């Protein structure tokens, strides 16, 4: 009995001690946590500082960051109505790079609606929507870009890529071929790595390359290369004269007709002015030589040779003589009779083809 009483007494004392300790801990005030580091006042545009109606991305902008400070500056000008459509596109690009694509598309659309010829706004809106896998929306923006500039290579390419990703292969091939036609560099993976994502684009690039090789191999040499070069040289000389006149006018300050002197010299009284010598321009050659027409078929002019027909000329006339023929009627390779000599002033022109001789009518017996 004494042992049981002792055990009960020990348990009662232990319980009383535990209860006293618990009550003492509940009565003490809670410990104050250590202060957390906070940024400097005015550094962040927090939720409390964001005015009513501002976009949600304002809460993450840091005024000490040059990029975010630029965004805030552009946004203030945008709300004040002092931002041009092109600057709206730049602001949208900054927002996209910062991680807010929806706000970027909204600015792109507004810029494109304010400036009807700003195709770049619709192209970037399509690219941003494309990056978000909103292909239907991206195709709509790409087509608006092509309505403004149908020959935009990037827009044609990415519209073809969106068509391919929506399983429309025929439309994709059409836009790919347009893109590679106006911008052949887009077929190079070093300039356009996105081509590696498409099998149709690589096939279209191969077709375009084969077509360009076919065009370069076509027998399209000039039939009258000397005449073409002579006419082209006339315009080239005229352009060089215009450039020299512009250089002289820029050197004198006004459009003065004073000629430019030779280097290191001056115009003296009684001496003619020294004009700059014309710049020698290399003679252009035909695009290619035809495999069906020999280069000797159109020879260079030589003394005593007609450059038009490539035949020896008759003495004193400058015209090719008639070729020998066993037939009584003379036949010339260019048709008709011999070319008439040049007509002097006051003379009547001579007929190119001689009149046929009258056939004698046999007399009736």
Q: Which residue has the higher pLDDT, 351 or 196?
A: 196
For residue 322, CA distances in Å to 123, 196, 248, 306, 357 come to: 69, 67, 55, 13, 18
Task: Indicate the pTM of the whole model.
Answer: 0.49
The pLDDT assigned to 50 comes to 54
Q: Which residues on neighbouring strands pair with residue 312, listed in sequence order?
A: 305
For residues 103 and 125, the answer to whether their CB atoms sit within 8 Å is no
Cα distance between residue 137 and residue 228, in whole Å: 52
For residues 320 and 339, the answer to whether their CB atoms sit within 8 Å is yes
The pLDDT assigned to 228 comes to 86
Mean pLDDT over 45-60 rounds to 66
Q: Which residue has the higher pLDDT, 141 or 201?
A: 141
The pLDDT assigned to 95 comes to 93
Percent share of the chain, pLDDT over 90: 34
For residue 164, CA distances in Å to 64, 168, 311, 322 come to: 44, 5, 61, 68
């Amino acid at each position: 009995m004494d042992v049981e009483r002792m055990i009960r007494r020990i348990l009662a004392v232990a319980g009383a001690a535990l209860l006293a300790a618990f009550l003492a801990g509940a009565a003490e005030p809670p410990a104050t946590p250590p202060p957390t580091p906070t940024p400097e006042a005015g550094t962040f545009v927090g939720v409390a500082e964001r005015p009513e109606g501002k976009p949600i991305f304002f809460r993450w902008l840091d005024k000490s960051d040059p990029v975010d400070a630029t965004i805030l500056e552009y946004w203030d000008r945008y709300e004040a109505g002092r931002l041009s459509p092109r600057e709206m596109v730049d602001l949208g690009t900054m927002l996209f790079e910062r991680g807010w694509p929806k706000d970027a598309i909204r600015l792109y659309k507004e810029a494109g609606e304010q400036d009807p010829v700003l195709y770049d706004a619709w192209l970037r809106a399509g690219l941003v929507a494309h990056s978000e896998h909103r292909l239907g929306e991206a195709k709509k923006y790409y087509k608006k870009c092509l309505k403004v500039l149908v020959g935009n290579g990037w827009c044609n390419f990415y519209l073809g890529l969106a068509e391919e990703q929506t399983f429309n292969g025929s439309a994709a091939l059409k836009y790919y071929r347009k893109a590679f036609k106006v911008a052949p560099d887009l077929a190079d993976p070093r300039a356009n790595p996105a081509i590696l994502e498409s099998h149709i684009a690589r096939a279209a690039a191969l077709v375009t390359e084969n077509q360009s090789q076919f065009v370069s191999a076509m027998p399209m040499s000039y039939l009258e290369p000397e005449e073409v070069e002579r006419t082209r040289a006339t315009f080239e000389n005229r352009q060089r004269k215009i450039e020299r006149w512009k250089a002289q006018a820029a050197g004198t300050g006004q459009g003065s007709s004073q000629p430019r002197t030779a280097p290191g010299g001056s115009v003296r009284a009684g001496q003619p002015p020294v004009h700059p010598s014309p710049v020698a321009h290399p003679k252009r050659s035909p695009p290619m030589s035809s495999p069906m027409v020999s280069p000797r078929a159109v020879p260079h002019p030589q003394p005593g040779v007609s450059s038009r027909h490539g035949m020896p000329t008759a003495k004193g006339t400058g015209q090719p003589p008639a070729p020998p023929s066993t037939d009584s009627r003379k036949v010339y390779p260019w048709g008709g009779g011999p070319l008439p000599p040049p007509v002097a002033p006051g003379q009547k022109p001579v007929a190119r083809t001689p009149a046929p001789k009258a056939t004698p009518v046999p007399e009736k017996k």
